[in-house]
Structure formats: structure tokens, C-alpha cells
Chain A
Amino acid sequence: MNRCRFAMLLAVVLLALGSGSVLAQQTPIRIGVIYSFSGAGGTAGKEFDDIVQLFQRQHGDTINGRKIEIIRRDDGGIAPDNAKRLAQELIVQEHVDMLTGLIFTPNAVAVGTVSTPSKTPVFIVNATTSNIMAKNPYMSRYSMTATQVTVPLAKYAYKTGMRNMYVVYMDYGPGIDSGQTFMNAFTAEGGKVAGEIRVPVSATDFSAYLQRVKDAKPDGMYIFLNASGAGTAFLKQAKAQGFDKAGIKIFCAGDLVTEQALPAIGDAAVGVISSMNYSGTHDSKLNHDFVKAFMVQSGGLPPTFGGVGTYDAFTAMYKVIAAQKGQLDPDKTMELVKNLKFESPRGPIAIDPETRDIVQNVYIRRTELKGGKLVNTEIDTYPMVKDPSEHP
């Protein structure tokens, strides 16, 4: 047959086939998940899956007769074009009632541009940059922001006698956020910043940076590096270069000393002071039960702040679904979200009605060796901190 006829035949066949596609049924409540199961997310993906399974095991998967269906999509790391397309597909093809997940800020921002026109509530599990919330009235966050967690640490450092500190942070969004926040907050208390170093994201060898810090002879050093590799190597290198002997105290963001990262760091982590919204050893019944149940689910891995953020986001979603008796309206959902207050494994949390961001305790912890295991012991608490940058 000639090419023209081929083209027409193909067109007709496809049209015939295609017009038979059926729209999806609407009875289950669909929650779309956009998360980084591969790429830069690292182990976060596995933790997410474990938490969701644990949660549904504890709370069931049906509310008011409607089954809760969870549809997972991998955005592959920092890829806002992917995240946006996945969000659109989830809303338009799968008819999800709400979205959750999101680790990286650019992805969250991209999803926001979809959430707002389509009025889809988004329950952010991880992304920590402050400015996501303002433009997106249907988003709420259950993790933390860099400012929220860093300002108390700067205050604590000053309180315990630090007057001259060196600040080292990684040259990417969360790093720059935390580093700048710490420097501003510390100088606001009256301290002096001896110097700052922006470490490139791909750095693997830190001896040069550490030597620079040592040369400046500060009282202490604040660091923010990503936990998956750089933080571990950095802390070990600091020990090898004798930071403990030189008397330079190490302060860092809790991301570096998560329960899952501590075994790799080893005793280089002992004595490090960090601030975080969650510690595995937080002394509440809810947390002890949570950690125990999670370790069974995950095959021995402890939960981290990412897992707790996921757990609380699901708690929130279930609460608003239950409060609406399974008949969801996005505006009503957001009204309910703004009034959320409940107990999380991390402690008490609430959602700020003005910014829809999370309000929570910030704990100052010291890493110690207890019973042969490395743990983060809470030594001070700053209660119910709101994100300072959103409330100038």
C-alpha cells in the first residue's frame, strides 16, 4: 500500500481504539505522592514507604467507607519539570484529592503552580525553604524550615559561651539558608562570625577547609552539609585533624547526625551539638512506641525527621478526611488544616493559621555514646517555635 493510505489507515485505527478509553472510578479517596525515590533522595524513599505502610497498618486504609488509595510517583531528584508534570498527571488522570511528599524546594515550587489553580491541597513532607507557603494557599508543611531550626541553635551557642564562630555550609539552597540564618542570628545575639566557607556540593575532600577554620582559632564551628555523604566525611575529617584537641566545639544542623547517619560517622560525632525538630530518643510514650514499631517495619533502621514529617502529614490528612466524613472540599480542608494541633512522635505540633507552616518544639541535642550506641540526647528545648522569617 502506498504511504498516504498507510497514514490514513493508522489514523483511523488509533482513533477507533482510543475513543474506547474509560474514565476512572471515583469512589476511593486518592492521595498522590510525589517523592524522590531515586536520585538525590537517597534513603528517603525507603523511609517514606515504610512510614506509609506502618501508618496504614496502625490506622487502617478506609475512612467512612471510602478506601484511601495511595499513588506513588518518582520525581527523580531535583527536577521541577518532572514534579510539575507528575502533579498535573496525578490531578488530571488519576483524579487525586490531595498531594503529598516533596523533598526539594524547586519541585515544591513547581507543584505549587499546579496546586493553586486546581485547588488541590498539598501536604508537604520535607521541603524546608521558607518562601514556598506564601504564594500557594493550598499548601501546608509538616517538616520544618531551616530558619525555624537554626535560630534557636545560634541562641543556644551564644548562651553557652560561644563568642567567635566559624560558619561552614554547603553551596545549595538549604545550606545557604541555614548558614546565612545562623550568621544573622548569632551576630544579633552579640557574637562574632570569624569567617564563612561555602563548600561546593560535589566536594569530597575537606582537609583544606578544615585547616582554614583551624587557622582562625574560633570558639566553635557551625556546619550545614548534606547528610548523605559530605556531612559524614566532614565530621570524620574534623576529628582526624584534631578539632577536639584544639577545643573547637562543633555545632551543626540535625540533618548531619540523623539516627541513620550516626553509625557511619562513628565516634567523630560524640560531643557534637545539633538542633532539630526530632530526636529518636525523645522521651514520650508516643515516640517510644513509634520508634519500636518503625524499626520492626523497616527491618532495623531507625526513623529520622523525614519519616516523622511523613507520619504527621498522613495524620493530618486522615484527620481532615475524617472531619469531613469522607466528602472532601478543598477550601474546607484548608480551614481544618489551619486549626490543626496534635501530638506527634517529636512532641506537640500545630499548623500556623497565618502561614500554614508548622509550629513545633526545637530541641538542642548533644550526640553521645549510650550503651554502646550513638544517640542524640535532648539537652534543651525551645518550645513551639514559629518560622521567624515568616513573622518578621
Chain B
Amino acid sequence: MIGNLLYIIFSGVAYGVLLFLMSAGLAVTQGLMRFANLAHAAFAMLGGYVAVTLMNSWGWPFLLTLPVAALATAIFAGILERLLFRRFYNVSQLYQIMLTVGIVSMSVASVTFIWGSVNQPVRMPDYLSSSIPIGNFDIDKYRLFLILAGGLVVWALIYGIDSTSFGAKVRAAVDNRRVTASCGINVDRLFMLAFFIGSALAGLGGALSVNLVGLSPTFALDFLAYVLIVVTLGGHGSMKGALAAALLLGVVDVAGKYYIPQTGPFIIYALTVIVLFWRPHGLFAKA
């Protein structure tokens, strides 16, 4: 019994770490600029495809594709931000939604055109495949890797947000953009950097998720719901909130599937609606 529960928590945390990586960027940009970026999951998808192409077509080792995927995504997102998104910061969120929905549509179509709609084949290196038997369970190495590597990134992020001056500036701007600007901080450039980092994280998350959940053009929409839920539950601008929400979501998802298999995403959506009704600004919102 306890063993089962521990295994579920292990599996859930791995999934949660993945969700966090994909959502962290959105949490910050939402809090910072109130920009409803529905294309965020599409960025994660891009990271996945970059990693897969490097591995399959150019034979790169898996670990090396990760930073490249993150960087490529960040550059692509950065260009999009400079050209398009920045015109929409003070515009109604409805237009932001439409803009980003249009971009998602275009990216799904482009991806289908280039790579086809089949699930992308991906092969992990041997040291990440198979599992380590512990008692009745097989702890699969890839999930372990996710928790360790992802945990490292999470630690770096939290450290960055809490203890660097950049992090302090971001937190200040999330709290009150105008006052921060009046302190002489270039909020525009701050946002650009935050967006860049956030998108890099999304790309990393996407690349890491391919082996766990598969990669096909529908990724951009399938994970959009989850990413939005993490950000909304965690509260805008709160990276720790996003972490807590992501871990919660991951564990609830896995536990739900284990104990009540037929409910599926129903639990997640119901949870979201209930939490939003009770705490409209998220669990950890900065009021």
C-alpha cells in the first residue's frame, strides 16, 4: 500500500516537474505583462521537434540536444515577441488570445507539413532506458533523470528568482510595473529577458517530454490546457505557485489514473473549476 503510494508520488512528481518546466515561463510573462500567451505550449512543441530532429536526422546524443532545443525555442519566441507580441501589451486580452491562437494554428500546420502528423519516434540512450528494480517496483531511469535534472533547473530558477538582482527586479515588476519603472528599471528589457528565459524553459520541457508523452502536432493544444491550468492555479507571476500547482497536478493526475482509471482528465478540470471558484486568483496569488 505504502509502496504503491510512494511509487505514485514518484511518478507524479516526475510528471509535475515536466509540467512546471513547460509552465514556468508562462507564469512569469502572465504576471509581468498580463499577456495571455496561448502559444506557449506551441513553444514547448517546437523544443520537442528540434530535439527529435537533432537526434534522429543528425545523430546527436540526447543530452546535447536539450540546451540547443531550449535556445532555438527562445530565439524563435524572442523574434515573435519583438515583431508581434509587444504591440499587444496594452490591448484587450481578447486580441492577445486571438493573436496567439492564430499563431498556434499556424505552428501546428507548419509542423504537420514538415514532420507529418505521426508520432515522432525517439530513442533514449541506454543509460536512460529500462529501470532499476526496487522491491516490487521498477523505478524507471528516465523518470528518475527527469526528477534529478528537472529538480536542478527548478533549484536554479528559485535561486535566481529569490537571490539575484534580476530576480528581484522581476518580482518587483510583477508586483507593480509602474513603480518599478519609475525606479529607473527598464521594464521593457526586463520583460524581453524574462520572456526569453521562459520560452527556453518551455523548449527544454518540450524536449524532455517527448520520451514520456510522445510528440505530434497535437502537442500544442493538448498541453495548452494543462499549462494554463498550472499557471491559473498557481497564481500569476508566482513561480513557486506554479511549481506547487504543477506538482499537485502531476500527482493528482497519476493518482487518479491509478485509483480511478476511468475518470481521466475529468478530475483535473473539475479540480480547476473548484479551485477557481474558491480562489479566483489562484492558490498562491500575489493579491
Q: Is the CB of A211 within 8 A of B140?
A: no
Bits for A208-243, please: 1 = Cβ < 8 Å to B, else 0. Answer: 110110010000000000001110110000011110
A34-74, CB < 8 A from B? 42-43
Provided the pairs A198-B262, A202-B264, A229-B216 are in contact, do residues A264 and B119 lie with their beta carbons within 8 angstroms? yes
* Chain B residues in 8 Å Cβ range of A240: 129-131, 138, 140, 142
Decide if A200 is an interface residue (CB 8 Å cutoff).
yes
Decide if A184 is an interface residue (CB 8 Å cutoff).
no
What is the distance, in angstroms, from A278's C-beta to the closest C-beta of chain B? 19
Q: Is the CB of A229 within 8 A of B265?
A: no
Q: Is the CB of A43 within 8 A of B140?
A: no
Decide if A281 is an interface residue (CB 8 Å cutoff).
no
A4-26, CB < 8 A from B? none
User: 30 A-B Cβ contacts within 8 A?
Assistant: A197-B262, A200-B263, A201-B264, A202-B222, A202-B264, A202-B265, A203-B257, A204-B212, A205-B253, A207-B11, A208-B254, A209-B261, A211-B7, A212-B258, A212-B261, A228-B117, A229-B119, A233-B119, A233-B213, A233-B214, A240-B129, A240-B131, A240-B138, A240-B140, A241-B140, A242-B130, A242-B131, A261-B118, A264-B121, A265-B121
Interchain CA distance A252-B246 in the complex, whole Å: 34
B241-281, CB < 8 A from A? 253-255, 257-258, 261-266
Decide if A79 is an interface residue (CB 8 Å cutoff).
no
What is the distance, in angstroms, from B99's C-beta to the closest C-beta of chain A? 23
Decide if B133 is an interface residue (CB 8 Å cutoff).
yes
> Given A197, A239, A245, which contacts B261 in the complex, CB threshold below 8 Å?
A197
Q: Is the CB of B212 within 8 A of A205?
A: yes
A178-209, CB < 8 A from B? 197-209
Known: A43-B117, A197-B262, A208-B8. 15 other contacts (CB 8 A): A171-B262, A197-B261, A199-B264, A201-B264, A209-B257, A209-B258, A209-B261, A212-B261, A229-B119, A229-B216, A230-B214, A240-B131, A240-B140, A241-B140, A245-B138
Decide if A82 is an interface residue (CB 8 Å cutoff).
no
Interchain CA distance A200-B133 in the complex, whole Å: 28
Interchain CA distance A313-B116 in the complex, whole Å: 26
> Given B119, B133, B257, B264, which contacts A242 in the complex, CB threshold below 8 Å?
B133
Decide if A266 is an interface residue (CB 8 Å cutoff).
yes
What is the distance, in angstroms, from B19's C-beta to the closest C-beta of chain A? 11
Decide if B286 is an interface residue (CB 8 Å cutoff).
no
Bits for A152-172, please: 1 = Cβ < 8 Å to B, else 0. Answer: 000000000000000000010
Decide if B107 is an interface residue (CB 8 Å cutoff).
no
| A233: nearest chain-B partner, CB-CB | B214
| A267: nearest chain-B partner, CB-CB | B123
* Chain A residues in 8 Å Cβ range of B116: 43
Q: Is the CB of B261 within 8 A of A205?
A: no
10 interchain residue pairs of minimum CB distance = A200-B264, A264-B121, A208-B257, A208-B258, A204-B213, A242-B138, A198-B262, A240-B140, A197-B261, A233-B214
Interchain CA distance A336-B227 in the complex, whole Å: 56
Q: Is the CB of B138 within 8 A of A171?
A: no
* Chain A residues in 8 Å Cβ range of B257: 203, 205-206, 208-209
| A199: nearest chain-B partner, CB-CB | B261
Decide if A383 is an interface residue (CB 8 Å cutoff).
no
> Given A202, A205, A211, which contacts B15 in the complex, CB threshold below 8 Å?
A205
Decide if A173 is an interface residue (CB 8 Å cutoff).
no
Decide if B180 is an interface residue (CB 8 Å cutoff).
no
Q: Is the CB of B118 within 8 A of A43?
A: yes
Interchain CA distance A240-B136 in the complex, whole Å: 15
Q: Is the CB of A205 within 8 A of B213?
A: yes
| A201: nearest chain-B partner, CB-CB | B264
* Chain B residues in 8 Å Cβ range of A233: 119, 213-214
* Chain A residues in 8 Å Cβ range of B261: 197-199, 208-209, 212
* Chain B residues in 8 Å Cβ range of A211: 4, 7-8, 11, 137, 258
Decide if B120 is an interface residue (CB 8 Å cutoff).
yes
Provided the pairs A200-B265, A208-B11 are in contact, do residues A228 and B213 lie with their beta carbons within 8 angstroms? no
Q: Which of B121, B258, B261 has the most CB of A within 10 A?
A: B261
Bits for B122-144, please: 1 = Cβ < 8 Å to A, else 0. Answer: 11000001110100111010110
* Chain B residues in 8 Å Cβ range of A204: 212-214, 222
What is the distance, in angstroms, from B124's C-beta to the closest C-beta of chain A? 9
* Chain B residues in 8 Å Cβ range of A212: 258, 261
Q: Is the CB of B11 within 8 A of A228?
A: no
* Chain A residues in 8 Å Cβ range of B120: 264
Provided the pairs A42-B117, A211-B7, A232-B119 are in contact, do residues A205 and B129 lie with their beta carbons within 8 angstroms? no
What is the distance, in angstroms, from A205's C-beta to the closest C-beta of chain B? 6
* Chain A residues in 8 Å Cβ range of B122: 264
* Chain B residues in 8 Å Cβ range of A42: 117-118
* Chain B residues in 8 Å Cβ range of A206: 257
Decide if A88 is an interface residue (CB 8 Å cutoff).
no
Interchain CA distance A266-B122 in the complex, whole Å: 9
* Chain B residues in 8 Å Cβ range of A260: 118
A238-261, CB < 8 A from B? 239-242, 245, 260-261
* Chain B residues in 8 Å Cβ range of A205: 11, 15, 212-213, 253-254, 257
Interchain CA distance A260-B121 in the complex, whole Å: 11
* Chain B residues in 8 Å Cβ range of A201: 264
* Chain A residues in 8 Å Cβ range of B121: 263-266
* Chain B residues in 8 Å Cβ range of A200: 262-266
| A42: nearest chain-B partner, CB-CB | B117
| B7: nearest chain-A partner, CB-CB | A211
What is the distance, in angstroms, from B52's C-beta to the closest C-beta of chain A? 11
